[in-house]
């Protein structure tokens, strides 16, 4: 009976012989789309039914103190699973994908194919104020990474499958294939070529079909635009864009601040208890902060936005228009804080849903404010939709993703013009103050964001150990000029590293520097290698990155640099060899 390992090897070999690389990618894209679509369906249903069982059994509406207890319990369970069962970091899903592409050859650990789903279910179903989108994106990307590696694909195709998994996850959650495709290109910075677009399309379409098959046509918020765009409202959407840019800046900065504050708490249990308690207080005061917040968004889109305020502890104080706006503003501000506390305290979830929530409430707030103060009749639900795109565009630095997502989930493109106006203005406003997105800020500050820089991406995947040239003839420091001439006669190179009996690197002799004396026989016994050598001012280690090596070549005039490991001579790296390997890798990565 054939073993599984042999069967796997035969399948891979048969695939390599009978299916071209291009069609292997297409088949993998469909498989990744199927897997990520199923993952999206499973997670959304798991979160929904877990929350339903909790809320139906505990009856949150009658026993609102459960809003205080439930989030704390969810964070504690999540922290227990992540730190004591899984024993690995799985937070910040999209940032983790970007890091994998940048620094880890697009490798994502196999447990990412399920661990984020379990942890985010525990967090969100119990009330954690985050979204399920980032965990699903990480899950889909991990499926793409591991499936591509299983089929022994190269780095380029593994990275593409990572993008297919992310795109399929977005498409599966929102049934928005175009938004999923644009997300992979805009956020993960995949190259926009036919070799990437077609697999991404196959993946997103497959994931969307899977989601439609299991969930029907309903999406997170089904809404059809009844008030078409009017040219006279362009200034109002411009104002909304500026407001969204400012709120997005608060979103990013406050998230970073709270994460730093919680980073000072070292004990996992203390962090979870403190964060869970604070989150419970916020949700007890503002029940719309419970979970992803899509129910509150639907209230706004259906013209019932007043219920969002009336559910808070401050409903008795919101009788006037001004107080209503004040309470609504508190909901917006505290949603960001609740989201940041959830993640910082040990919960697992993303910023996707909170960004949509904050955007919807910001659009609703802006329209209501202008309707009250300027006695206008702006459609508040339209402004809520456009505000969702505005905050997404600025927080994630992904205006195209925001535009197409909202356009797709509304069942049409009647709001395309205001979506473009607000998203563009919001992105520009935010980018002026915050050059990095919420996904890339920490990576950029650590120097780990290279998906946006093709040259760094190539250099990261180059290994100095693969480029070391060892065909240099070594000489001993005590050898005479005559003995050195014999070494020259046998060598193919014009550089001679000088070492001692224990192979410690002492210096180097360049043939061009001593060519004028090597034929003076009277000096053969009088001069030694010690008289000929000198110590170069630069050297590198096998542990150095190729970015370090490239920097040395760039800042010096050397064409060959010695590689030294703890004083031991290893070999040389040459400028020509490094450049040749760089060109080849760049050509392999970019060719269609």
Query: Quick count: other Cβ atoms within 10 Å of Cβ 169?
Result: 37
Report the pLDDT value the prediction gives residue 542, as an integer from 0 to 100.
84
Q: How far apart are CA 262 and CA 270, in angstroms?
A: 10
For position 457, what pLDDT does the model report? 60
Per-residue pLDDT at 592 exceeds 60:
no
- The pLDDT confidence band at residue 590, using thresholds 50, 70 and 90, is low
pLDDT in tens, 436-464: 888 887 776 666 555 555 556 666 667 78
- The alpha carbon of 543 is separated from its chain's Cα centroid by a whole number of angstroms, namely 26
Q: What is the pLDDT of residue 198?
A: 92
218 pLDDT band, cuts 50/70/90, is low
In this prediction the pTM is: 0.81
- Band of pLDDT at residue 112, cut at 50, 70 and 90: very high
- For residue 510, the surrounding DSSP H or E stretch is strand 505-510
pLDDT in the model for residue 61 = 59
Is 87 strand, coil or helix? coil
Q: Are 330 and 286 in contact (CB under 8 A)?
A: yes
CB 510 within 8 A of CB 484: no
Structural domains in the chain, CATH included, are 4-215 (1.10.3080.10), 231-453 (1.10.3080.10), 458-590 (3.10.580.10)
What tokens appear for 191 in the block? 């190259």
Q: What angle do CA 561, 563, 566 make, to 5 degrees?
A: 140
**Neighbouring-strand partners of residue 534:** 508
What does 481-508 look like in DSSP terms, one character per residue?
A: HHHHHHHHHH-SSSEEEEE-TT-BEEEE
> Tell me: the pLDDT tens digits for 330-346?
999 999 999 999 999 99
182-194 per-position pLDDT tens digit: 999 888 877 777 7
Per-residue pLDDT band at 235 (split at 50, 70, 90):
very high
Between CA 143 and CA 481 the distance in angstroms is 63
Cα gap 389→241, rounded to integer Å: 10
Can you give the pLDDT at residue 447? 62
Measure the CA–CA gap between 104 and 202, rounded to whole angstroms.
Answer: 26
Strands 495-499 and 475-476: parallel
Closest to 349 in 3D by CA, of 227, 215, 255, 230: 255
**What tens digit of pLDDT does each residue of 366-387 get?**
999 999 998 888 999 899 999 9
Phi, psi (rounded to 5 degrees) for 505: -75, 125
Checking if the pLDDT of 291 tops 90, the result is no
pLDDT, position 436: 84
Confidence of residue 23 (pLDDT cuts 50, 70, 90): confident
When pLDDT is cut at 50, 70 and 90, the band that residue 282 belongs to is very high
Distance from C-alpha of 169 to C-alpha of 188, rounded to nearest angstrom = 13
Q: Which residue has the tokens 């002026």?
A: 432
pLDDT of residue 58 exceeding 80, the answer is no
Token digits for 356? 């949509």
Residue 564 DSSP one-character state: E
Residues 403-415: pLDDT tens digits? 999 988 876 577 8
Average pLDDT over the chain, rounded to an integer: 85
DSSP reduced 3-state for 131: strand
What pLDDT sits at residue 459?
64
279-284: average pLDDT: 91
The pLDDT of residue 117 is 93
């Amino acid at each position: 009976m054939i073993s599984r390992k042999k069967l796997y090897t035969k399948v891979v070999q048969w695939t390599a012989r009978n299916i071209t690389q291009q069609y292997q990618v297409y088949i993998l894209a469909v498989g990744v789309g199927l897997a990520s679509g199923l993952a999206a369906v499973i997670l959304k249903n798991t979160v929904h039914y877990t929350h339903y069982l909790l809320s139906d059994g505990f009856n949150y509406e009658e026993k609102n103190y459960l809003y205080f207890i439930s989030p704390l319990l969810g964070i504690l369970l999540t922290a227990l699973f992540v730190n004591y069962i899984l024993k690995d970091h799985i937070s910040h899903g999209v940032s983790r994908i970007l890091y994998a592409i940048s620094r880890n050859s697009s490798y994502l650990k196999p447990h990412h194919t399920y661990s984020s789903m379990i942890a985010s279910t525990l967090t969100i179903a119990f009330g954690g104020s985050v979204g399920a989108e980032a965990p699903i994106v990480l899950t889909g990307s991990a499926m793409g990474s591991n499936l591509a590696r299983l089929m022994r694909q190269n780095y380029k195709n593994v990275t593409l499958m990572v993008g297919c998994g992310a795109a399929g996850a977005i498409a599966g959650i929102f049934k928005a294939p175009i938004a999923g495709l644009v997300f992979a290109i805009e956020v993960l910075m995949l190259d926009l070529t036919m070799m990437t677009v077609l697999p991404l399309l196959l993946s997103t379409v497959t994931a969307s079909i899977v989601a439609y098959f299991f969930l029907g046509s309903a999406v997170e918020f089904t809404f059809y635009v009844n008030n078409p765009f009017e040219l006279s409202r362009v200034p109002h959407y411009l104002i909304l864009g500026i407001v969204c840019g400012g709120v997005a800046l608060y979103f990013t900065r406050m998230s970073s601040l709270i994460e730093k504050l919680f980073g000072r708490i070292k004990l996992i249990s203390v962090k979870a208890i403190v964060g869970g308690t604070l989150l419970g207080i916020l949700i007890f005061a503002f029940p719309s902060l419970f979970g992803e917040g899509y129910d509150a968004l639907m209230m706004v889109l259906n013209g019932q936005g007043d219920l969002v305020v009336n559910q808070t502890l401050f409903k008795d104080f919101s009788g006037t228009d001004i107080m209503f706006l004040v309470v609504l503003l508190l909901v917006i501000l505290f949603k960001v804080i609740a989201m940041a506390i959830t993640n910082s305290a040990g919960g697992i979830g993303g910023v996707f849903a909170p960004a949509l929530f904050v955007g919807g409430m910001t659009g609703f707030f802006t329209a209501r404010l202008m309707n009250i103060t300027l006695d206008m009749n702006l459609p508040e639900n339209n402004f809520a939709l456009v505000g969702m795109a505005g905050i997404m565009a600025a927080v994630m630095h992904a205006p195209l993703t925001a535009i197409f997502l909202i356009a797709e989930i509304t069942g049409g493109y009647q709001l395309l013009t205001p979506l473009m106006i607000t998203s563009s203005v919001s992105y520009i406003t935010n980018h002026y103050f915050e050059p990095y997105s919420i996904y890339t800020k920490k990576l950029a500050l650590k120097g780990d964001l290279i998906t946006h820089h093709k040259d760094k991406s190539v250099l990261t995947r180059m290994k100095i150990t693969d480029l070391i040239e060892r065909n240099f003839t070594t000489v001993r420091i005590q050898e005479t000029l005559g003995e050195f001439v014999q070494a020259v006669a046998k060598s193919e190179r014009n550089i001679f590293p000088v070492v001692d009996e224990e192979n410690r690197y002492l210096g180097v002799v360049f043939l061009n520097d001593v060519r004028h004396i090597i034929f003076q026989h009277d000096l053969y016994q009088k001069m030694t290698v010690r008289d000929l050598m000198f110590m170069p001012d630069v050297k590198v280690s096998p542990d150095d990155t190729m970015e370090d090596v490239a920097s040395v070549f760039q800042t010096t005039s050397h064409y060959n640099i010695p590689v030294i490991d703890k004083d031991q001579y290893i070999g040389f790296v040459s400028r020509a060899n490094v450049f040749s390997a760089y060109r080849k890798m760049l050509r392999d990565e970019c060719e269609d």
